[in-house]
Amino acid sequence: RSKERGGRWERRTFKIVLSYSGTAFAGWQKQPGFLTVQSVLEKQLGRFVDGKRASNLEKQGKIKEALVSVAGRTDKGVHACGQVCSFYTWMRECKEEDVKSAVNSAMPTILRAVSASEVNRDFHPIFSAKWRRYIYIFPLRSRDEIDVSKVATLLRGLEGHSLSYAIFARDTKIARSSGPATVCTLYHARAALAKLPVPNEENVMVVELVADRFLRKMVRVLVSTAIKEAFAGANDDALVALMEETDRRASAPPAPAHGLCLAEVGYGNSQARDCLLRHCQHIVKNTKV
């Protein structure tokens, strides 16, 4: 039908890579009465809504808003420097720079479009994604005694395995036979000691996780549980052993949201090779803060 209509009726899909400060928003998902990333984007991209949808919205007395899909809905306080979303339009005159400009004109200090590109109409931020990369930055104080090398060893034991992460998830059913699938494959899981380039050079532990998918709050629970197990002097396979638990009290509460950042989403044949902590094992060896 689109070919018969031709021209401006051919649907076009745009992929947008986003960066935003999570502390400014009540999460990604649109919620009445709250400032969210989705609500800002759909309003800004509403200028590209036309055709039947625009007509229907006008008849209902509603403002024109686009329909935006996203690779992963971040919670309140979670940041992003490589979030991916998409929307479609039938506007033939819509250009990539127009899309990028529309996003960047909204809240330039806390929400930015890193890039905007027209992609195949079959593209979907979730279903086309091959992997996601998250970075968690955990502050270290002088009174803390987190064995960073132990945390790194615990996390590295998860690499290359397809396991059920139900014990580390929140807001999902614990049972393996019901609810959303809980099996994830971690391709890369590391931790390292670092110093932030701020006054007094604050010590932090950086955790990097790359997987085919993540469950709700999985990264934050995994980070806090790894720290807890490191404090307890657990065996190197302690996180793997926890997979068999059915009571989530065996894992720790989620680490604070503001330490988490969605760094990158991979598509097509891309591989997560350029990991920040790829060669970190020698960096964290025998390191304790």
73-99 core/surface letters (b: 16 or more CB in 10 A; e: else): ebbbbbbbebbbbbbbbbbeebeeeeb
Catalytic option among 50, 75, 171, 212: 75
Say whether 212 is catalytic.
no
The 3 state secondary structure assigned to the chain is CHHHHCHHHCCEEEEEEEEECHHHCCCCCCCCCCCCHHHHHHHHHHHHCCHHHHHHHHHCCCCCCCCCEECCCCCCCCEEEEEEEEEEECCCCCCHHHHHHHHHCCCCCCEEEEEEEEECCCCCCCCCEEEEEEEEEEECCCCCCCEHHHHHHHHHCCCCCEEECHHHCCCCCCCCCCCCCCEEEEEEEEEEEEECCCCCCCEEEEEEEEECCCCCCHHHHHHHHHHHHHHCCCCCCHHHHHCCCCCHHHCCCCCCHHHEEEEEEEECCCCCCCCCCCCCHHHHCCCEC
- How many whole angstroms separate alpha carbon 224 and alpha carbon 251? 8
Q: Any known ligand binding at 134?
A: yes
Residue found by looking up tokens 């980070």 in the block: 223
Binding site as annotated, residues for substrate: 134
Annotated binding site: 134
Q: Which residues does the annotation mark as catalytic?
A: 75
